[in-house]
A and B are shown apart, each in its own frame.
Chain A
């Protein structure tokens, strides 16, 4: 129900404005802090208006955190995660919706249940697998006695090892499996009328052709939405890169670098906290996700206008 009364209008706008303030004030403070010198930031009355040190602070923060290569790393990982997630989610949902096979619902629910198991919950086993991605196979072979057989017959002991630590693969793969995306795609695919599937069959299009020519163009807006969410998600990863990357010089990610700039007892060692640098770095790190959201939002809208339903 849509109600339009002046009082309600004013009330909703007040709530909106309040929400906006709650969100914007911290960002504004971060921006202000990034424009002052160390002394100004740490002196008693909190500055509310920007100073003239922005460029200086940005340069110093950039250099100190070695942001150049770290941005490239993070971009590679984020794009890898986005592409991987979308591809995987799309083909999984495609199989689940358009093919009739035994255990279809079981598989769907198993995927769905993993929604309840985010990376943080399964971080220890995931790390173990990342340390040697072939561990599961090794275990199976040990248990079934295949290794024993091989060892007795040939004298060679089988040790499978594929280390994913300190690599892009290790950063990307554990983040790729996604129940959210699969679920999103499944729900969208379920709205595709059966007749459309049948029309494609009559036109002679095989399953992959149908996926490529019909489903993917139709799910453009879905892809845009999922890509946006997942890019921000991947960009903001902190815990996983922290664990899996020890070679920070080559594979460091920006958010981890950023956390190093945030002053704490360890980094300052009792010295003056360098909040101006931390805030300047925050501004820089924030930019790509914001840019993506703004860019993709235009796509969203275009997609919505163009839907022919």
Chain B
């Protein structure tokens, strides 16, 4: 029952601007993941929503109420912290129930709710333990239970999985999604891990240097990155980027090594414009020499089991290809590279903005 509207929010510490003019609407019950590298302001945004930091400029509205001046406890948000932030001297039960205790909930009701919540996250057998006696995953569950028990309107997650090992991380990811679906509160999840972002989100928000680069569904962002930055950040292995410039016709890109690459006229590219060509490694295929749109020199490959990552060079620009085919290539061998036209991304050279078809930038504006 809570929509979060962020209007023109800015945050400065003294003279340093952390965030500027951020606009974002998070719909009721939606799971939004804010994705970005460390220092991009994503945690700050979350803390602004939580009320742990003061907003320098702009407005945040939660469930129809401007919360700029409200204390964290009055905002109806619950937060799961990166390092769990459990009270070390309290038992699991006390940790989970502390918010209720502070709120003055009667002991009998409190105990019942603690029990129910603990059961929901699989902690029923650990209620008497102290956090120090729990494993990382269990502590994470306590932190989640502590958030759930308050029945908040909004869940805020601040990189909650980054301290877990890879296997547990996947497991907790599913758990978080399950709890979100069960509770139905609006969730905002901050992470620098693109896998977490892609798998968890209804919508992804990509942040860079205190501004929002792109908002969209994971698929949207993967298929139509609005900028080079987004393209490089989402997808693994990272998108191949080939610098070049358009020829006089505006329909062919001259790459660094002199190869030409035809692009459809639907790109909003001008003749002579400096561009960056983006190609996802998993959309490329290696063909015999002379076939395909490009030619490249084979270097080596990495075995993944299910597939291989082939590392090639076009002049001195690296090009990765993910392929299930077990090819036997020798180092220095020239091969052809083929791909469907739909796999082609074209970005403006200096600014890095996408020149992609039906103006992704405009679509983003609509979503905001």
Contact residues of A with B, CB < 8 Å?
193, 195-196, 198-205, 209, 213-214, 217-218, 307-309
CB pair B72 A202 closer than 8 Å: yes
Which residue on chain A has the smallest CB distance to residue B87?
A: A214
Of B84, B89, B150, the residue contacting A217 (CB under 8 A) is B89
Inter-subunit contact B79/A218 (CB<8 Å): no
In the complex, whether B103 has a CB less than 8 A from a CB of chain A is: yes
Give, as a whole number of angstroms, the nearest-CB distance from B117 to chain A.
Answer: 14
Query: Number of B residues whose C-beta is below 8 Å from A?
Result: 29
20 A-B contact pairs sorted by A residue (CB < 8 Å): A193-B85, A195-B81, A198-B50, A198-B79, A199-B79, A201-B51, A201-B72, A202-B73, A203-B102, A203-B150, A204-B72, A204-B103, A205-B98, A205-B102, A209-B102, A213-B87, A214-B89, A217-B90, A218-B88, A307-B132
The 9 closest A-B pairs by CB, nearest first: A308-B132, A204-B73, A195-B85, A199-B85, A308-B88, A203-B99, A217-B89, A204-B102, A195-B81
Question: How many Å lie between the Cα of A308 and that of B86 in the bound state?
Answer: 10
Contact B102 A196 (CB under 8 A): no
What is the distance, in angstroms, from A246's C-beta to the closest C-beta of chain B? Answer: 47
Is the pair A213, B98 in contact by a Cβ cutoff of 8 Å? yes
The 8 Å CB contact of A201, one of B52, B89, B103, is B52
Whole-angstrom CA separation of A198 from B82 in the bound complex: 12
B77 within 8 A of A: yes
- Quote the shortest CB–CB distance from A273 to chain B (angstroms): 54
A196 to B131, CA, bound (A): 13
Given contacts A199-B79, A204-B99, contact A309 B72 (CB under 8 A): no
Known contacts A195-B83, A213-B102, then 12 further A-B pairs from the complex at CB < 8 Å, ordered by chain A residue? A195-B81, A195-B84, A199-B85, A199-B87, A201-B72, A202-B50, A202-B77, A205-B102, A218-B88, A218-B89, A308-B88, A308-B131
- The reply to whether A202 and B79 form a contact with Cβ atoms under 8 Å apart is yes
| Residues of A contacting B98 in the complex (Cβ-Cβ under 8 angstroms) | 203, 205, 213
- Any chain A CB within 8 A of the CB of B268? no
B133 and A196 contact, CB distance less than 8 A:
no
Q: Could you count the A-B residue pairs with CB atoms below 8 Å apart for me: how many are there?
A: 68
Q: How far is the CB of A203 from the nearest CB of chain B, in Å?
A: 4
Q: How far is the CB of A220 from chain B (nearest CB, A)?
A: 8
Closest partner residue, chain B, to A308 (CB atom): B132
Give every chain B residue within 8 A of A307 (Cβ-Cβ).
88, 132
C-alpha spacing A203/B75, complex, angstroms: 11
A198 touches B103 (CB 8 A): no
In the complex, what residue of chain B is closest to A219 when comparing beta carbons? B89
B42 within 8 Å of A by Cβ? Answer: no
For A204, the chain B residues whose CB sits under 8 A away are 72-73, 99, 102-103
Interface string of B64-104 (1 = CB under 8 A from A): 00000001110001110111111111100000001100110
* CB contact between B83 and one of A193, A203, A214 (< 8 Å): that residue: A193
Most B-side CB within 10 Å, residue of A195, A204, A205: A204
Nearest residue in B to A195 (C-beta to C-beta)? B85
B180 within 8 A of A: no
Give CA–CA (A175, B148) in the complex, Å.
Answer: 49
The docked-state distance in angstroms from the alpha carbon of A175 to that of B351 is 68
Q: Please indicate which of the listed interface residues B77, B87, B131 has the most CB atoms of chain A within 10 Å of its own CB.
A: B87
Q: Name the residue on A nearest B129 (C-beta).
A: A308
Q: Given that A204-B103, A205-B102 are contacting pairs, would A198 and B146 also be in contact in the complex, using a CB cutoff of 8 Å?
A: no
- The answer for the CA separation of A199 and B139 in the assembled complex, in Å, is 14
Chain B residues near A213: list those with CB within 8 A: 87, 98, 102
What chain B residues lie within 8 Å of A217 (beta carbons)?
89-90
Closest chain A CB from B182 CB (angstroms): 21
A129 to B89, CA, bound (A): 43
Q: Which residue of A lies closest to B98 (CB)?
A: A203
> Given A203-B73, A204-B73, A308-B132, are A198 and B102 neighbors across the interface (CB < 8 Å)?
no
Q: Does B130 contact A (CB under 8 A)?
A: yes
**Residues of A contacting B132 with CB < 8 Å?**
307-309
Chain B residue with the shortest CB-CB distance to A199: B85
Q: Identify B87's interface contact among A196, A198, A202, A209, CB under 8 A.
A: A196
Q: How far is the CA of A107 from the CA of B167 in the complex (A)?
A: 50
Docked Cα-Cα span, A218 to B87, in Å, equals 9
In the bound complex, CA of A309 to CA of B73 (Å): 27
Considering only residues 108-147 of chain B, those with a C-beta below 8 Å from chain A are 130-133, 146
Q: Are A195 and B133 in contact (CB under 8 A)?
A: no
Q: Return A218 CB to nearest CB of chain B, in Å.
A: 6
Smallest CB-CB separation from A196: which chain B residue? B85
Q: Shortest distance in angstroms between B191's beta carbon and chain A's nearest beta carbon?
A: 17
